[in-house]
Amino acid sequence: MSDKRPDLKDVNERMRGLMARTTHGRDDFEDLVIVPLFAVVVALVFGALIMLATAVDLPTIGRSFVALAVGSVGSLSAWSETLTASIPLVLAGLGLGLGFRAGLFNIGAEGQLLMGGLAAVVAGFTLSGLPWIIHLPVTLLIGALVGALYAAIAGFLKATTGAHEVISTIMLNLISYRLLDWLLRQPFIQREGRSDPISKDVPPSAELPRILDFIDVNLRLHAGIFVMLAAVALVYWMLFRSKIGFAFRASGENPSAANYAGMNAAFVIVLAMGTAGALAGLAGATQVTGVLGRASPGFSAGIGFDAIAVALLGRSHPIGILFAGILFGALEAGGRQMQVDAGVSIDLIGIIQALIIIFIAAPLLVRAIFPWGFRKRGKKAGEA
């Protein structure tokens, strides 16, 4: 699709744009703070309208928003739930954001997460007996590795045959659900004495320890949060300080320019997909070793799709993804509280999330709805 003939001027311009340090001007402030803020507010308002449209009465709507707030940030346990939910979202979101930077639209985080999570479970119970200091990292790494390999299929197909990654990753997602169902019934994975598809438990030495259990044993926040923070730092370094990260961004900005600059497009594609898959696999691994303790059908619970929204909301920037992931974790935790307290289905959160991305991804739309708060449509709107 990108066989536009690259002319030298274009190449130079793109490269200069890539090298230029970001300037923190009014435009960035609008893009990074005002637009997301408006997006969240407008999405919540739309959420209320949808509740009204489905005959939910006003007091219930009020109660559900209170529950949303209390359940996400209202107490220590709410914060614990929010952060717990945000760990896999941030990890998978980092991978997707990295892919976006490299021009790859990877929709396959869900499948990569499932495969990585299952691999971590299997590694967890087959390697039991090791001391935790070896067992836990090995388990997580195997999860990441399998996620990377599963994603690399799509990367390899794109690099060698040009198969569009959107379709191949979606197909790999659909395949992974069936594969998981089948694998969970295999004797060496299925729990003894069970006929339904469910895996054996992850032994304690491969579990991510809960870090707040000295306050209250019910606080589920686990050590995966350190994995998450380390991944944010690592991806930041990789994208903005390393040579390969530069190659990723250059290929994403202009594939033919990057090719002419001597970057191996096929290698970059496979590596970017593999890294994205490793992060998604790690997300699955932290989820099974930190929260679930076992694998069951559909244990990913849509995290891989929510992570797309997280990466978009975070503008594919590691720090942005961290905050976006925490916001989505808060919506998730608050949504559960909302379902319990107000009886409003948690699917509403899905609508709110989709609306947030619409407004984030189409800044012109937000500007059209809220003309105030922005500079007059000048050069920025012209080039956007």
70 contacts other proteins (rule: CB under 8 A): no
One residue of 26, 28, 49, 54 binding other proteins per CB under 8 A: 54
Segment 104 to 133, residues that bind other proteins, using CB under 8 A:
105, 107
One residue of 190, 361, 370, 380 binding other proteins per CB under 8 A: 361
CB–CB of 294/199 below 8 Å?
Answer: yes
Q: What is the CA radius of gyration of the chain?
A: 22
One residue of 90, 263, 278, 331 binding other proteins per CB under 8 A: 263
One residue of 148, 157, 279, 322 binding other proteins per CB under 8 A: 157
Looking at the Cβ atoms of 26 and 164, the one nearer to other proteins is 164
Here the tokens at position 180 are: 């998981």
Q: Is 193 exposed, middle or buried (0-12, 13-18, 19+ CB in 10 A)?
A: exposed
One residue of 49, 260, 371, 375 binding other proteins per CB under 8 A: 260
226 contacts other proteins (rule: CB under 8 A): no
313 contacts other proteins (rule: CB under 8 A): no
How many residues make up the chain in this entry? 384
Close Cβ partners of 118 (under 8 Å, ≥ 6 residues apart): 146, 180, 183, 184, 189, 199, 284, 288, 295
Region binding other proteins by CB under 8 A among candidate stretches 120-128, 136-144, 322-330, 339-347: 339-347
Residue whose C-alpha is closest to residue 223's, from 166, 290, 169, 279:
290
CB of 97 to other proteins, least distance (A): 13
301 contacts other proteins (rule: CB under 8 A): no
355 contacts other proteins (rule: CB under 8 A): yes
Close Cβ partners of 50 (under 8 Å, ≥ 6 residues apart): 348, 351
Residue whose C-alpha is closest to residue 295's, from 35, 108, 115, 73:
115
One residue of 175, 211, 234, 301 binding other proteins per CB under 8 A: 175
One residue of 52, 76, 167, 340 binding other proteins per CB under 8 A: 167
344 contacts other proteins (rule: CB under 8 A): yes
164 contacts other proteins (rule: CB under 8 A): yes
CB–CB of 366/373 below 8 Å?
Answer: no
Segment 76 to 105, residues that bind other proteins, using CB under 8 A:
105
> What letter represents residue 353's amino acid?
Q
Looking at the Cβ atoms of 230 and 364, the one nearer to other proteins is 364
Here the tokens at position 117 are: 């999570």
19 contacts other proteins (rule: CB under 8 A): no
One residue of 80, 86, 106, 168 binding other proteins per CB under 8 A: 168
Q: How far is CA 213 from the centre of its chain?
A: 27
Residue whose C-alpha is closest to residue 16's, from 271, 254, 256, 265:
254
CB of 205 to other proteins, least distance (A): 32
Here the tokens at position 276 are: 């994205």
Cα 295 to Cα 69, 152, 176, 222, 341: the distances in Å are 30, 23, 13, 18, 29
178 contacts other proteins (rule: CB under 8 A): yes
- The structure tokens 């991978």 sit at 95
One residue of 170, 211, 234, 292 binding other proteins per CB under 8 A: 170
Contact residues: other proteins, CB under 8 A: 1, 50, 54-56, 105, 107, 157, 160-164, 166-168, 170-172, 174-175, 178-179, 181-182, 260, 262-264, 305, 308-309, 312, 344-345, 347-355, 357-358, 361-362, 364-365, 368, 384
